[in-house]
Amino acid sequence: MNDTPKPATATVTAATAAGPDRARPGALGAPLLRRALADSVRKLDPRVQFRNPVMFVVLLGSALATVLSAAALFGGETDRAAFGGLLTLFLWATLLFANFAEALAEGRGKARAAALRATRSATEALVRTPDGTLVSVPGTELRVGDECVVSAGGVVPGDGDVVEGIATVDESAITGESAPVVRESGGDRSAVTGGTTVLSDRIVVRITTPPGETFLDRMIALVEGAERQRTPNEVALTILLCGLTAVFLVAVVTLQPLAAYSGARQDPVVLIALLICLIPTTIGALLSAIGIAGMERLVRRNVMATSGRAVEAAGDVTTLLLDKTGTITFGNRRAAEFLSLPGVPDAELAEAARRSSLADGTPEGRSIVDLAAAGRPSGDASGESGVPVPFTARTRMSGLDDGGRRVRKGAVDAVARWTRENGGEVPDRLRALAQDVSDRGGTPLAVAEVPAQGAPARLLGVVHLKDTVKPGMRERFEQLRTLGIRTVMVTGDNPGTAAVIAREAGVDDFLAEAAPEDKLALIRREQEGGALVAMTGDGTNDAPALARADVGVAMNTGTQAAREAGNMVDLDSDPTKLIEIVHIGKQLLVTRGALTTFSLANDVAKYFAILPAMFAASLPGLERMNVMGLASAESAILSAVVFNALVIVALVPLALRGVAFRPLSAAALLRRNLLVYGLGGLVAPFVGIKLIDLLISALGVI
C-alpha cells in the first residue's frame, strides 16, 4: 500500500477528470437553454447588435414599430394599434430568436469552459533555486524559466518542459483521456500542461509560459468564443448581406411615395414588416452561430483552434505534410539488435554502445543502455569513469572519453567521418549493415572507438533502431486521397528508411533528411503552386513549418514550441485527426452555403404573401398573385412575419449540428444545394405561411 502523503497542491476532482467532452458539458439541457434565453435578452444591447448589420436593422425596425404602434394606441386607433402590436411582437421575436441561436452556440462553449475552469485552482509550486533548495511559491507567481519539482500525486503548476526525469501524467482534465501518458526529458514528449497530475516518479519542469497565458487559459478563452474572429468567407458573406439589406431598404423606403401616388398609402409598421421579411434575416441570424458551432465541433473532438480562419482553411487543404516520428510512426524508436562487424565480439559492441549512450538523454539513447545492460536503470552512469560527450545536432554523435579510450555512437556518416579523422578505416561491410537496417525500415547507428591513446579508430558495428507505423494509417491516407488531398511524409531519416516507411504507411510522397529549412522550402513551393498546406508535427524542429503552414496542427504530446507555433492543437495527439478537421472545415463551408441558399430562396414566398396584401385594394389585379389563398391582407402580412421568425428557430439545430458533408465536386455540391436547400427554401415558406394563416383564421386573432 502506498501511504506516501501527497504534497499540498491542487488536485483534479473526479467530475472534471472526465474531460470536457466526456462529461458532455456542452450537451443541450434545461440549464443551457435557460442561460441562452437570458443571454438572448442581454444581446438586445445595440452595441452588441451593431456587429451584425442585418440584425441591427431588425433592431431599429422593431424599435420604430414599437413607437408607431404605441402612438396609434394613444391616438385612439385601436384596430391599427392591435394589428401593429402583433406585427411588432413577432418582429422582436425575430430578433430574440436570432440572439438565441448565437447564445445557444456560445453557451455550449461556455459550459465546456466552466468544466475546464474547474480544473484550475491555486497551486503551490516547489521551485528549485540555483543552490538546489526547494522554495514553495504560489502558482500565480511563477515566472518563465523557473524550475519546479513535481512528485507523484502533485499537480503541474504551469505549462513547461520536463528537463529532468520521467513520469506518467494524468491529462484527463485537459484531454478527457483516462489513460496516463509518459512525459520525459529529451525528445519530443517533454511538454507538460498546467493542471495535469503526475501519477508516478518525480520530474523537474521548466516553466515556459507566464501565469494567465497558459494553454488551459487559452483553451478557456477559445471555447467561450471570446477570441473568435470572423473568417474571410464570413466577412465576404456579411458584406453581401449588407448589400442586399441596403437594396431592400432603398426599395421599401421608395415604395411609400409610389403607394401614396397610387392611392394606397401604407402603414409604416407594415412597411417595416415588409423590410424585415425581405432582407436575409435567416442567414443573418444564424451566421455567427454557424461559425461558433464549427469551433465547438472541433472542441468536442479534442482539437483547439486559435481561430475560425484555420477551420475554414482546413476545408480547402490540398497538401498535407506529416512528420514521421510520433505522427505516422509511434515515435519511440528503440534499440532492437546489435549488428557486429566481422571480428568484433557481440559483447564488445554492446558494451561500447552502452558506454557511448550514457550521455544521450533521448529515449533512443536510453533504450540502447537498456538493451546492452539489462537491469541497469536507464541512463544511469553511476560507477562509470570518464567524461561524457553529449549528443548535439551538429556532431550527431554521443560518447564517452575515458583516458586514452574514446567511444562514439551516432549517425553512420558522422561516425564514419570521425573514424577517418582519427586514422581508422571504414569497411564496406558497415555500409551493407546500415543499408540492411534501412531496407527493413529501421534506423542504423554506427558505433566506433579509439581503444587507446594514439591508436587508430575502429568501427565496431551498427545498432538497429526500430520504428513502427501506427495501425490504420494506410486506410486513413486513402480517405485523404478521396478528398483530393496529397500526403507528404517529412523525416530526418535517410532516403532508404524513409522510402520503406512511406510504402508501409501509404503516403503519396516523402521528404528525407529534412532539416527545418527544408520543410519551410517545401511548404513555400506548395503554396506558390496554389496549394493550401496543412502540417502536423510535435517537435521543436517542426515549429517553423507549423507556423508557415496554412493549417498547423500541433500534437499535445509535443514540445511547447510546436504547440505555440501551430494554429490548432490536437489534445489526443492523433495525427490522423486531421481528416476529421478537414471534414469539419468543409462542413462549416457547406452549412453556411446551404443556409444562405435557403434564406435567399424563401424570400420568394414572402413576396407572394405580403405584396398582394398591401396593394390588392388599390390594384385588384394583384389578387391573382395570392396563390396561397390567404384569408385576408392582415392575415397574409402577419403570417409572413410569424414564419420569418419561426424559421430561425427551426434552423437552429441544423446550424449547430451542421449539414452532413459528403466528398463531392464543386458542381455536384452546387446542384445538391440548389435541389435540397434552394427548392426547399422555395417550397417551405409557401407551406408554412399557409398553415400559419389557417391557424390565425381559426383562432380569430385578427
CB 666 within 8 Å of CB 586: no
The residue that leads in pLDDT, 201 or 5, is: 201
Q: Is it the case that residue 377 has pLDDT exceeding 80?
A: no
Question: For the chain, what is the mean pLDDT?
Answer: 81
Q: Read off the pLDDT of residues 667-690 as tens digits, 9 standing for 90 and up.
A: 777 888 888 898 888 888 889 999
| 3-state SS class at 488 | strand
| 3-state SS class at 127 | strand
What the block records as the C-alpha cell of 692 is 400559419
Q: Is it the case that residue 643 has pLDDT exceeding 90?
A: yes
DSSP-assigned letter for residue 333: -
CB 423 within 8 Å of CB 457: yes
CA distance to 329, 332, 488, 522, per residue, from 535 (Å) = 15, 20, 9, 11
Of 4-18, 38-52, 144-158, the least confident: 4-18
Ligand-binding site membership of 396 (annotated): yes
The residue that leads in pLDDT, 474 or 493, is: 474
pLDDT of residue 569: 84
How many other β-carbons are positioned within 10 Å of the β-carbon of residue 610?
Answer: 24
Ligand-binding site membership of 183 (annotated): no
Q: 209 phi and psi, to 5 degrees?
A: -135, 130
Tell me the residue type at 699.
L
pLDDT of residue 5: 35
The residue that leads in pLDDT, 219 or 497, is: 497
Ligand-binding site membership of 360 (annotated): yes
pLDDT of residue 210: 83
Q: Is it the case that residue 581 has pLDDT exceeding 60?
A: yes
Torsional class of 557: left (φ above 0), alpha (ψ -120 to 50), beta (otherwise): alpha
Q: How close are the terminal C-alpha atoms of the chain, in Å?
A: 79
Q: Which of the residues 159, 161, 188, 323 is marked catalytic?
A: 323
Q: Read off the pLDDT of residues 300-323 as tens digits, 9 standing for 90 and up.
A: 787 877 766 777 788 888 898 887
CA 188-191-192 angle, to 5 degrees, is: 150
Q: Read off the pLDDT of residues 488-498 as tens digits, 9 standing for 90 and up.
A: 998 877 787 78
Tell me the residue type at 497.
T
Ligand-binding site membership of 304 (annotated): no
Tell me the residue type at 674.
L
Ligand-binding site membership of 428 (annotated): no
What the block records as the C-alpha cell of 34 is 435557460
Of 138-147, 178-187, 482-491, 590-599, the least confident: 178-187
What the block records as the C-alpha cell of 430 is 558497415
Single out the residue of 193, 177, 200 nearest to residue 577, CA to CA.
177
Q: Is it the case that residue 108 has pLDDT exceeding 50?
A: yes
- Give how far the C-alpha of residue 162 lies from the chain's centroid of Cα atoms, to the nearest Å: 25
Q: Read off the pLDDT of residues 431-471 as tens digits, 9 standing for 90 and up.
A: 999 988 887 778 899 999 998 888 999 999 999 988 777 77
Ligand-binding site membership of 574 (annotated): no
CA 167-170-174 angle, to 5 degrees, is: 130
CB 197 within 8 Å of CB 156: yes
Q: Which of 27-31, 438-442, 549-553, 662-666 has the highest mean pLDDT?
A: 549-553
Of 89-103, 352-366, 588-602, the least confident: 352-366
Tell me the residue type at 581.
I
The residue behind cell 483516462 is 178
| 3-state SS class at 24 | coil
pLDDT of residue 650: 92
What the block records as the C-alpha cell of 194 is 498546467
The residue that leads in pLDDT, 119 or 645, is: 645
Of 399-413, 539-553, 610-624, the least confident: 610-624
What average pLDDT does range 399-410 have in this prediction? Answer: 89
DSSP string, 195-261: T-EE-SSEEEEEE-S-TTSSHHHHHHHHHTTTT----HHHHHHHHHHHHHHHHHHHHHHHHHHHHHH
Ligand-binding site membership of 1 (annotated): no
pLDDT of residue 193: 81
Q: 15 phi and psi, to 5 degrees?
A: -65, -45
pLDDT of residue 13: 32
Q: Read off the pLDDT of residues 230-240 as tens digits, 9 standing for 90 and up.
A: 667 778 888 98
What the block records as the C-alpha cell of 249 is 431598404
Q: 169 phi and psi, to 5 degrees?
A: -130, 135
Single out the residue of 251, 315, 696 nearest to residue 484, CA to CA.
315
The pLDDT confidence band at residue 636, using thresholds 50, 70 and 90, is confident
The residue that leads in pLDDT, 402 or 105, is: 402
The residue that leads in pLDDT, 111 or 276, is: 276
Burial category of 266 from C-beta neighbours within 10 Å (exposed 0-12, middle 13-18, buried 19 and up): middle
CB 205 within 8 Å of CB 147: yes
Cα separation of 76 and 79, whole Å?
9
Q: Between the CA atoms of 477, 480, 484 and 486, what dihedral angle is there, to the nearest 10 degrees?
A: -50
What the block records as the C-alpha cell of 663 is 466528398
Burial category of 421 from C-beta neighbours within 10 Å (exposed 0-12, middle 13-18, buried 19 and up): exposed
State the DSSP H helix or E strand holding residue 420, giving kind and residue range, or none if neither.
helix 412-421
Q: Is 188 a catalytic residue?
A: no
Q: Which domains does the chain have, with CATH numbers?
A: 30-111+224-297+584-699 (no CATH), 142-209 (2.70.150.10), 316-328+470-571 (3.40.50.1000), 334-375+390-464 (3.40.1110.10)
DSSP string, 608-667: HHHHHHHHTTT-GGGGGG-TT--S-HHHHHHHHHHHHHHHHHHHHHHHHH-PPP----HH
Torsional class of 554: left (φ above 0), alpha (ψ -120 to 50), beta (otherwise): beta
Ligand-binding site membership of 39 (annotated): no
What the block records as the C-alpha cell of 486 is 496529397
What the block records as the C-alpha cell of 324 is 514521421
Q: Read off the pLDDT of residues 20-44 as tens digits, 9 standing for 90 and up.
A: 333 344 455 677 788 888 888 999 9
Of 26-40, 128-142, 329-343, 346-360, the least confident: 26-40
Cα separation of 428 and 413, whole Å?
13
Q: Read off the pLDDT of residues 416-432 as tens digits, 9 standing for 90 and up.
A: 999 999 999 999 899 99
pLDDT of residue 547: 86
Ligand-binding site membership of 300 (annotated): no
Q: Is it the case that residue 2 has pLDDT exceeding 70?
A: no
What average pLDDT does range 647-654 have in this prediction? Answer: 91
DSSP-assigned letter for residue 567: S
Q: Between the CA atoms of 97, 102, 105 and 107, what dihedral angle is there, to the nearest 10 degrees?
A: -90
Q: Read off the pLDDT of residues 182-202 as tens digits, 9 standing for 90 and up.
A: 888 876 677 888 878 888 888
pLDDT of residue 114: 65
